[in-house]
Structure 1
Amino acid sequence: MDFDFTDDQNSLRDAVARWVEKGFSFERRHALAKAGGATRAVYAELAELGLTGLAIAEEHGGLGFGAVEAMVVMEELGRGLVNAPYLHGALVAPSLLSFAPAELQAAWLPRMASGEALVVLAHQERAARYRLDQVTTRATESNGSWTVTGAKSLVPAGDEADAFLVPAHTPHGIRIFLVERAACQVRGYPTQDGARAAEIAFTDAPAQLVAENGLVELEGAIDVGIAAVCAEAVGLMERMTALTVEYMNTRKQFGVTLSTFQALRHRIADVKMQLELGRAMSYYATLKLGEPAEQRRRALSQAKVQIGQSVRYVGQQCTQLHGGIGVTDEYVSSHYFKRLTMLEMQFGDTLHHLGEVSARMQDSAGVFA
């Protein structure tokens, strides 16, 4: 199998990297986080690069690119610690809206491709514990129109979004609905990694039906999100490792640089091993997005388990190798650690996905055959 990137994919990577270098310094990110984490302006800059239309079909004004291109972009955004709801608004939401009726797609996808509209998935509920089939929000139909009643938690950029994609129970099972923000009660707050999230309440909120086979489509969208999280984590780990190596090559202890101590060099070697394991599983996750649901879900959970283990190890080791400066708010490495910690829990934490992998292991081997 050829794992080399095409010229177009490398050009895309370079374009994102150049924007990060010129337009999104750590000082800017730190200032945004201190101001509460609002990043709609950053999202608009990504739209100017054409990135918000990356996964949207050309007929709706997008670029029509695939999963590998999304992975390339997410790696670079992770490496630059870019604080914007890109994976939610430009990757997860379009994957769900692709199942919507033609008129609903025509109303929203062109606006999403241009960055004019931000639509995010609002699926997490307080008692769900990452289980997608645990939905208490209800949708009711009357005279051909739908309304939604319930609540969703930890909605990314919820107080900056224009609309939400909401899984809700109906007499026919779980379905996905689009609810505009004006019809909801929204309470936003900053998150630990400098972004924003919100609690959303729906009380007979007018809704438009997006997908009838809601649970199946929701699982597919979550898998898109997991693959994107894995790619972002690779970029984050790569940059955090580079920062740590740079620090060890300049910081002196007992008159010599830290990099001369063999025990510390061994720890960095282990860090790089975890980084490469994470990178391999990120590629695996991206390439498995086109597989049938059963194989895809297992593969994405396997990838999330490895990424969860890698980000924890890399984050903790790099922070310890920095010493006290590694946990100060003014130093960039601490912000990488915060973001890695948040990613480990996004779309299901490591223990949840370990259980998912276990539940899907139907084969037996060795003495148990």
Structure 2
Amino acid sequence: MDFNFSDDQEQLRDAVRKWVDKGYGFEHRRGLVKAGGFSREAYGELAGLGLTGLYVAEEHGGMGMGPVDAMVALEELGRGIVLEPLGQTLIASGVLSGYADDALKATWLPRLAAGEALVVLAYQERAARYRLDRCAATATKAGAGWTVSGHKSVVPAGDQVDALLVPATVDGKIALFLVERAASGVATRGYVTQDGSRAAEVDLQQAPATLVTADGLTALEHAVDIGIAALCAEAVGAIDKTMEITAEYLNTRKQFGVVIGSFQALRHRMADMKMQQELARSMSYYATLKLHAPAEERRRAMARAKYQLGQSLRFVGQNSVQLHGGIGVTDEYVGSHYFKRLTQMEILFGDTLHHLGEVSARMQDKAGVFA
């Protein structure tokens, strides 16, 4: 199998990396965290690069690209631990393109592609424990439309977005709805998370909603799988940068008159981290390439990928801190912010223990080894 990237993909990678290096440095990011963890201006710059239209068809003003192109861009955003939730835009684009009717597509996809609107997935509930088939929010028919009531937690930039994709139950079955944040009955409480990004609690009380699809569970599973693949790609970029920072420190810090990177025990530790780095990269590729697979195969692949990524994120992040010593957890040092991002990534879209259970539950007699 050829894992070389095309010239267009390499140009995309180069463009995003240049933007991250020049326009999203460490001190700039710290300023955004202090200002609330989300910047519409920075999100607009991502739109200017065409990234918000990656999954939107050309007929709706997008670039009509695919998962591999998105993976390339997200790796570079991960290197800069960019706060703005591009992965959520990919989720919204993919779900609306695949499940919404033509009128809803015509209304929202051009705005998503242009970066004029931000739509995120609001699916987490306190009692669900990462289970997608558990949904306490309810929807009721109201004339020609719908209303949704319920509470969603840890919604990315939930108090700053234009609309939310909300799963809710209708007669015991999950459906998926689009709810505009400015609609009546929508209340949000925003906050900064541990890694500096922004999230919100969202309370819905008979909020007007538009039905995206009555087969909400299928759409929700697809949405989360897009999110997992995007997160894996972003995580690879963050791991790559963490490795660079750690290697630079080991080759600069001196003890007993020599750089500590010459100590054999620390070199072995870095070798173990490198192994986890490459395992993460290979499973990110695997997740990306399985996004268009049949649903059951895709779900198995995402669980496997997220489990390995969780292992790698924890191992690389914790060992980086140990190799740095005390400076590795100080707010003034860039490495601590990568550690926090890696740690938070491990629990997004289901933590490692959850996905280990998913891998076990979906295991087949031949474990996928033989055709």
Under TM normalisation by the shorter chain, which class is it?
Answer: over 0.9
Residues 106-135 of structure 1 show CA distances to partners (whole Å, capped at 9, x for unaligned) of: 111101110110010000001000000100
Alignment of 1:68-217 (within 5 A): 68-89=68-89, 91-98=90-97, 99-171=99-171, 173-183=173-183, 184-217=186-219
> Conserved in 2, the CA contact under 8 Å of 1:42 and 1:83?
no
Aligned to 1:294: 296
User: What is the TM-score normalised by the length of structure 1?
Assistant: 0.97
SS in 2 for 1:65: coil
Equivalent position amino acid for 1:344 in 2: E
Give, in angstroms, the shift of residue 172 of structure 1: 6.4
Equivalent position amino acid for 2:91 in 1: V
User: What percent of counterpart residues are identical?
Assistant: 65
| Counterpart-to-counterpart distance in 2, 1:34 and 1:328 | 16
Give, in angstroms, the shift of residue 142 of structure 1: 2.8
SS in 1 for 2:182: helix
Equivalences, count: 364
Give, in angstroms, the shift of residue 364 of structure 1: 5.5
1:11 paired to 2:16: no
Alignment of 1:213-362 (within 5 A): 213-362=215-364
SS in 2 for 1:193: coil
1:48 paired to 2:45: no
| Counterpart-to-counterpart distance in 1, 2:167 and 2:96 | 13
Equivalent position amino acid for 2:358 in 1: E
SS in 1 for 2:346: helix
Give, in angstroms, the shift of residue 85 of structure 1: 1.1
SS in 2 for 1:131: coil
| Counterpart-to-counterpart distance in 1, 2:180 and 2:142 | 19
Give, in angstroms, the shift of residue 39 of structure 1: 2.1
> Conserved in 2, the CA contact under 8 Å of 1:157 and 1:196?
yes
SS in 2 for 1:130: coil
Equivalent position amino acid for 1:58 in 2: E
| Counterpart-to-counterpart distance in 1, 2:145 and 2:76 | 42
> Conserved in 2, the CA contact under 8 Å of 1:248 and 1:258?
yes
User: What is the TM-score normalised by the length of structure 2?
Assistant: 0.97
Give, in angstroms, the shift of residue 35 of structure 1: 2.1
> Conserved in 2, the CA contact under 8 Å of 1:74 and 1:231?
yes
Give, in angstroms, the shift of residue 80 of structure 1: 1.4
CA RMSD of aligned residues (A): 1.0
> Conserved in 2, the CA contact under 8 Å of 1:128 and 1:134?
yes
> Conserved in 2, the CA contact under 8 Å of 1:156 and 1:197?
yes
Give, in angstroms, the shift of residue 195 of structure 1: 0.7
- Stretches of structure 1 that go unaligned for 5 or more consecutive residues are none
Equivalent position amino acid for 2:348 in 1: Q
